[in-house]
Amino acid sequence: MKRVLKWVGVIVLLLVLIVAGFAAWIQFSGMPTYDVAVVEMTIPSTPERLVRGRELATSLCVHCHLDPATRIASGKEIVDLPKEFGRAFSKNITNHRTAGIGGWSDGEIVWLLRTGIHPRTGEYVPPWMPKFPRLSDEDMASIVVWLRSDDPYVAAADVPNRPAEPSFLAKFLSRIAFKPLPYPSAPVAHPDTTNSVVWGKYLALGVYDCYSCHSGDFAKMDMLTPENSFDFFAGGNMMPDAAGKAVSTSNITMDKTTGIGSWTREQFITALKTGFRPDGSQIRYPMARFVQASDASIGAIYDYLKTVPTINKPRGVVELHDAGATASAGKKAYYRYECIRCHGESGLGIADLQLADTKYATDSLMSDVIRHINTYQPESYMPKYEDRIPESDMASLIAYVRQLGQASKR
């Protein structure tokens, strides 16, 4: 009996050592690495590609890579990354030859965007940098052409990259769950842009990735065959905002009661362009307005969604921000109009609000910026508030924005 117990003890001890060793290995070995097989190519620049590339990159890349202080894509902290994953910083993707990606070949950029494997180090690039397996070769070429252009967003900036600080969980998942994607084995054709459903499907699945946020569970998502994702377009993923509260993505199948089956095509286009639903309620971050996309493109997404099987699934949890009963009128407005979801508690969220106080000296100018952001930043996806904020709230809201700016200087 004693002997048996002794052996059980030895086995348990061995198991503990193996688990501890495995954990230590994950902790100290960093991200997994994979083989790199860059396909060299030279992508010629054309005026059409430059225009398309700008349209794509300003909605797909810039918001994550842009330093809000300089408005150059030299990298910034991803503030809405769930804390459990550690800290992540987007990288310098300007034309600087050493600090940015100016020294990368066209093939290296395409390799990274397709596979999620770093072309220089072979390291796996985690999911907070998106991958584009279904983007057509033509659209991919346009993005590369734009990255190489003299657009001020990618003007060479000598800003060093900040290394990521992935948590144990992030590293663990990168070993066992997250995987890079295979490099396409055949050319990825550009879809028929004159067939609305085909074009809309391409935009929703290949370009703007609507399905990934709007499926039921990131862990049960199929990046290569999106239609196989769990609860395809029926929503349910919990997405954190810049102030730590999460919102469930909504059901955007055409189900009449739980989805958007009662929205007209016009209403859908207006909602995606303004950031407000047909009933006037605000669509919360991290849902972003599709500022650059044309009405025809957004309409095409609607036409495609009409062909997606409907699922009856009520919307999930929306975690609300509460300013507290004793808060000032300005703070209450800041919470009520969901400014906090993007600009955070201190004004330092996905976009910096602390500079606004000095930049917009008069209240009438500040009011105009808040109501009509696109006059000042044409690509901004901040909601089109226009006259949705009554004058009575605007004065205290502005006072609060100024207070945030002044508090940051102390």
Q: Is 88 in the site for ligand HEC (CB under 6 A)?
A: yes
Of the candidate residues 26, 145, 157, 401, the single one contacting ligand HEC (CB under 6 A): 401
Of the candidate residues 30, 102, 122, 130, the single one contacting ligand HEC (CB under 6 A): 130
Nearer to ligand HEC, 43 or 88 (CB): 88
Enumerate residues 332-351 that contact ligand HEC by CB under 6 A: 337-339, 341-343, 350-351
Q: Is 157 in the site for ligand HEC (CB under 6 A)?
A: no
Handedness of CA 212, 91, 350, 359 (dihedral sign): negative
Binding segment toward ligand HEC, per CB under 6 A, in 19-27, 46-54, 177-185, 246-254: 246-254
Count of residues of this chain found to bind ligand HEC when the rule CB under 6 A is applied: 68
Q: How far is the CB of 359 from ligand HEC (least distance, A)?
A: 5
Nearer to ligand HEC, 232 or 381 (CB): 381
Nearer to ligand HEC, 273 or 277 (CB): 277
Nearer to ligand HEC, 232 or 285 (CB): 285
CA distance 310 to 252: 9
Q: How far is the CB of 12 from ligand HEC (least distance, A)?
A: 38
Q: Is 34 in the site for ligand HEC (CB under 6 A)?
A: no
Instruction: Using CB under 6 A, list all residues that contact ligand HEC.
Output: 57, 60-61, 64-65, 78, 88, 90-91, 93, 101, 109, 112-113, 118, 125-126, 128-130, 143, 161, 164, 204, 208-210, 213-214, 239, 247, 249-250, 252, 260, 271, 277, 283-287, 290, 301, 318, 337-339, 341-343, 350-351, 353, 355-356, 359, 369-370, 373, 377, 380-383, 385, 397, 401
